[in-house]
Amino acid sequence: MMRLPKFEYRVPRTIAEALQIVTDVGAEAQFVAGGTDLYPNMKRRQQMPKTVISVMRLPELHRVSGVGSRGLVIGASVTLTELCENEIIRRDYPVIASAARTISTPILRNMGTIGGNLLLDTRCNYYDQNYEWRKAINFCLKKDGDVCWVAPGSAKCWAVQSSDLVPVMVAVGAKFRVVSAAGERMVEARDFYKDDGIDYMNKRPDELLVDVHLPPTNGWRASYQKLRRRGAFDFPVLGVAAYVRFDTSAVDEAPGPAVADAQIVLGGIAPSPVQVKEAAKALIGKSLGDDQIQAAAEAAYVKARPLDNTDFVYQWRKQMARQYTIRALRDLIM
Ligand SMILES: Cc1cc2nc3c(=O)[nH]c(=O)nc-3n(C[C@H](O)[C@H](O)[C@H](O)COP(=O)(O)OP(=O)(O)OC[C@H]3O[C@@H](n4cnc5c(N)ncnc54)[C@H](O)[C@@H]3O)c2cc1C
Ligand code: SF4
């Protein structure tokens, strides 16, 4: 049985108190929400904070406010189950509820939060193992070692961004509000993730994620399609988020309104979400017909370069980028 290492557990009641603790403790501190990612990582000795600061008693982080026509703000400690069940999210942002519903299991969704999901550690077959397993291969670049077993000549870690909500947030243009003792900043989801399996976020450890800001739903639709081995629960080994905003004032020669804006974002295949700009180009200005969907799917296939560090054969996951893009876009046809 894997046991947690010893640590001090702090439960602040205000954001100011949480920031004071993290400032006082420094690099040895780490925030925790539901703990469904952090605690297994601590048991595997991948992350070893001496002080763990719960964000579950901070009232601001539990709020959901707004509505589709104005935009929605979701507190970082809102659980995945709450995301699935919230009536406004289900009605105005169904893609968020449906993507959350694909995450892990009902019990883990009761504990796991939106914030923890967006800040999930990157994953790799050579890293998500217990301490003894990793020691037997002399560890790897991401923790305690000096070689990457996936790409031995590489100076970079290729561990995979494996959150189901991240590609969706990038596709729909969400923003994240983070605070620290130094102040507050708002970061676009698309600028928040870095293509490096070790240094994978534009967020300092002392910064607290307070909430997620979703844009108004002014005519856009979005869909998320997930590839995993077991439908009941498993991390994505490919996730495709498709976002389309229709221009209802201009109609193409084909039936249906023209696409005014589009995003195709791939998750589960690289250290950061992959925006397929060529796919968006193939869609904008035309109606969402078979030829456009096929062209966008081809662009996703070309851009997808999964590595051999998660489940399934990576060449097959690349093929699936095409199929899952088709699936996501067909889901958006009105
Ligand atoms: C068996 C299993 C299956 C899973 N399947 C999936 C899956 O299919 N898809 C998926 O996306 N995830 C999956 N997960 C991962 C995880 O359950 C979810 O991503 C969950 O949403 C994480 O939320 P949490 O609140 O438990 O995060 P925690 O473990 O509490 O935290 C995760 C990270 O976020 C940081 N953090 C949390 N809140 C804040 C905050 N407000 N400010 C600053 N830092 C913060 C923590 O320090 C930590 O680094 C799975 C986990 C398990 C154990
Ligand atoms: S990609 Fe390489 S360095 Fe990163 S976790 Fe996997 S084996 Fe380690």
R_g of the chain, CA atoms, integer Å? 20
Q: Report the predicted TM-score, pTM, of the whole model to 2 decimal places.
A: 0.97
Q: Burial of 97 by CB count in 10 Å (0-12 exposed, 13-18 middle, 19+ buried)?
A: buried
- 27-43 pLDDT, tens digit each: 999 999 999 999 999 99
Note every long-range contact of 273-276, with CB atoms under 8 Å and residues 24 or more positions apart, other chains counting: 273/161, 273/166, 273/167, 273/170, 273/190, 273/193, 274/303, 274/304, 275/170, 275/190, 276/300, 276/303, 276/325
C-alpha span between 145 and 37 (Å, rounded): 22
C-alpha span between 200 and 162 (Å, rounded): 12
Between the CA of 52 and the centroid of ligand 1 the distance, in Å, is 14
For the CA of 49, the nearest atom of ligand 1: 47
> 189: closest CA among 246, 118, 238?
118
* Residue 56 in contact with ligand 1 by CB distance below 6 A: no
C-alpha span between 171 and 240 (Å, rounded): 10
Identity of the residue numbered 33: A
Between the CA of 135 and the centroid of ligand 2 the distance, in Å, is 14
Between the CA of 219 and the centroid of ligand 1 the distance, in Å, is 31
- Phi (first) and psi of residue 204, to 5 degrees: -80, 155
| Tokens matching residue 203 | 């967020």
Q: Hey, which of 124, 134, 308 would you mutate to test ligand 2's pocket, going by the most ligand atoms within 8 Å of its Cβ?
A: 124
C-alpha distances in angstroms, 113 versus 76, 182, 242? Answer: 7, 25, 23
Q: Hey, which of 108, 165, 202, 238 would you mutate to test ligand 1's pocket, going by the most ligand atoms within 8 Å of its Cβ?
A: 108
DSSP labels for 50-67?
SEEEE-TT-GGGG-EEEE
β-strand pairing of 175-180 with 220-227: unpaired
The pLDDT of residue 248 is 75
The pLDDT of residue 251 is 54
C-alpha span between 184 and 20 (Å, rounded): 15
Between the CA of 65 and the centroid of ligand 2 the distance, in Å, is 39
* Residue 35 in contact with ligand 1 by CB distance below 6 A: yes
C-alpha span between 98 and 167 (Å, rounded): 13
Between the CA of 120 and the centroid of ligand 1 the distance, in Å, is 5
The total of other beta-carbon atoms located within 10 Å of residue 188's CB is 14
C-alpha distances in angstroms, 56 versus 26, 76, 132, 266? Answer: 20, 9, 32, 30
β-strand pairing of 71-75 with 257-267: unpaired
The pLDDT of residue 233 is 87
The pLDDT of residue 256 is 81
Ligand nearest to the CA of residue 139, numbered in listed order: 2
> 79: closest CA among 117, 113, 119?
113
Using the 8-state DSSP alphabet, how is residue 69 labeled?
A: T
| Tens place of pLDDT per residue across the chain (334 aa) | 899 999 999 999 999 999 999 999 999 999 999 999 999 999 999 999 999 999 999 999 999 999 999 999 999 999 999 999 999 999 999 999 999 999 999 999 999 999 999 999 999 999 999 999 999 999 999 999 999 999 999 999 999 999 999 999 999 999 999 999 999 999 999 999 999 999 999 999 999 999 999 999 988 999 999 999 998 889 999 999 999 999 877 655 556 899 999 999 999 999 999 999 999 999 999 999 999 999 999 999 999 999 999 999 999 999 999 999 999 999 999 6
The pLDDT of residue 255 is 66
C-alpha span between 121 and 49 (Å, rounded): 14
β-strand pairing of 257-267 with 208-214: unpaired
The pLDDT of residue 203 is 97
- The binding-site residues of ligand 2, defined as CB within 6 angstroms of any ligand atom, are 124, 126-127, 140-142, 148-150, 157-159, 197, 309
Residue spans of beta strands (DSSP E) within 204-256: 208-214, 220-227, 238-251
Identity of the residue numbered 186: M
Adjacent-strand bridge partners of 241:
224, 265
Between the CA of 145 and the centroid of ligand 2 the distance, in Å, is 10
Between the CA of 299 and the centroid of ligand 1 the distance, in Å, is 31
